Structure 1
Amino acid sequence: MTTPPIRAAGPADAAAVLAFWQVAAEGASISDDEAGFARLVGTDPGALLLAERDGELVGTVIAGFDGWRCHLYRLAVHPGARRQGVARALLDAAEARFAALGGRRGDAMVLERNERAQYAWRAAGYAPEPQWRRWTKPLRQLPASGS
């Protein structure tokens, strides 16, 4: 198979991406909704990268850069397109984005129970850092402005 073209997602991609993640992503995110999608593409327009073949979405990765760190999330490949270079193409595009922005190191969020993903990340040259543990806290949602 040929390497799929990669492009940045735009607002019109919301429904397709959210449906794709239901099929291809491992686990759900608190931001898997129209509002979360809109915030992502509105705040960092180049961050969500899409791989397509024949007009069909076959992979995604979020390559977010906050000016300090390069974060990778939601590397997902359609089950029918796995082991065909889609993840590698997405990560190459993400790493090129980071380098262009001045990033120095990418880090990835990988579920501990997702052995397939761990294998893919290792194959791409990433490794876990055992001294780190992710800490989270749900944030109180503020009312929309103008309310």
Structure 2
Amino acid sequence: MELITRPAAERDIDAVLAFWGKAAEGKSITDDPAGVARLIARDPEALILAERDGELVGTVIAGFDGWRCSAYRLAVHPDHRRQGIAGRLLEAAERRFRELGGRRVDAMVLEVNERAQRAWEASGYHREDHWRRWVKSL
């Protein structure tokens, strides 16, 4: 039962969206086939999947705009949590960021998702309370 990580491809879009429906906390405005297709087309290495025996068990989006590294949609299937999958996904994301010259990772994590807060902390991330993010849907 080897865990592999790999970039998502267009053929994975439906599986990723179904997976996020089960494993992710909340739905993003871009959780639709067109949104995921745009991500893959713009940055084919950004959406990283974790698979075990061909089954999708985790995801993370590792975006880099040339200035800042951003991690989104870290999710692990409920039946596969507490097995180190989130850590492996973050290792893959961080390796990508280092290869691109990134120096700092920002992650947006829902305040109400305590399980996710603990996972990020266990992976060496810390919360900076002095930053407040303002967002607008376009």
Name the TM tier (shorter chain): over 0.9
1:26-80 per-residue CA deviation (whole Å, 9 max, x = no partner) reads: 0110000000001100011100000001110000000000000000000000001
Report deviation, 1:127: 0.8
- Output the amino acid matched with 2:121: R
Cα distance in structure 2, aligned partners of 1:105 and 1:38: 26
Report deviation, 1:112: 0.3
Tell me which residue corresponds to 1:64. Answer: 63
Q: How many residues align?
A: 138
Cα distance in structure 1, aligned partners of 2:36 and 2:23: 17
Report deviation, 1:138: 1.9
SS at match of 2:126: coil
Tell me which residue corresponds to 1:142. Answer: none
Cα distance in structure 1, aligned partners of 2:78 and 2:137: 31
Identity %: 69
- Output the amino acid matched with 2:56: L
Question: Gaps (5+ residues) in structure 1?
Answer: 140-147
Given the two structures, how large is their TM-score scaled by the length of structure 2?
0.98
- Output the amino acid matched with 2:51: E
Tell me which residue corresponds to 2:27. Answer: 28
Cα distance in structure 1, aligned partners of 2:105 and 2:4: 22
Cα distance in structure 1, aligned partners of 2:107 and 2:10: 24
Matches within 5 A, 1:1-147: 2=2, 4-139=3-138
Tell me which residue corresponds to 1:145. Answer: none
Larger Rg: 1
SS at match of 1:5: strand
SS at match of 2:121: helix
Question: Gaps (5+ residues) in structure 2?
Answer: none
- Output the amino acid matched with 1:86: I
- Output the amino acid matched with 1:43: R
Cα distance in structure 2, aligned partners of 1:101 and 1:88: 20
